[in-house]
Amino acid sequence: QVQLVESGGGLVQAGGSLRLSCAVSGSIFSINRMAWYRQAPGKQRELVAEITRGGITNYGSPVRGRFTISRDSGGNTVYLQMNSLKPEDTAVYYCAAARVMYTDWGQGTQVTVSS
């Protein structure tokens, strides 16, 4: 079992930056991938970024070049640095952990970008 707690969301103007954090606890050794997803009102949840145990990253096309996923050396915290934010980035952002599939989720943190 893995517990995930997100923080760092808030209100920011377009063009600004935010850094989200995801505190990871529990069976950290079992995690093979970590990810950030987001869900905007009326839209499906979409992958924002993911990072493997080996450090390989993958980004959704809407955020590529603007967002960066990273983690601390102990794997206890995963970050999402978000730069050049746009109003369309407004969503609830969720942290997720996977052994094979993403089955552990945090409660989400709201990010609102004003124009």
pLDDT per residue as tens digits for the range 69-101:
999 988 899 999 999 999 999 999 999 999 999
At residue 33, the pLDDT reads 96
18-73 per-position pLDDT tens digit:
999 999 999 889 999 999 999 999 999 999 999 999 999 999 999 999 999 999 98
DSSP characters over 80-112:
EEE-S--GGG-EEEEEEEESSSEEEE---EEEE
Q: Is the pLDDT of residue 1 over 90?
A: no
The DSSP letter of residue 28 is G
Please report, for residues 90, 109, 112, the alpha-carbon distance to residue 93 in angstroms, rounded to integers and kept in the order given. Answer: 9, 5, 10
Q: Quick one: pLDDT at residue 113?
A: 98
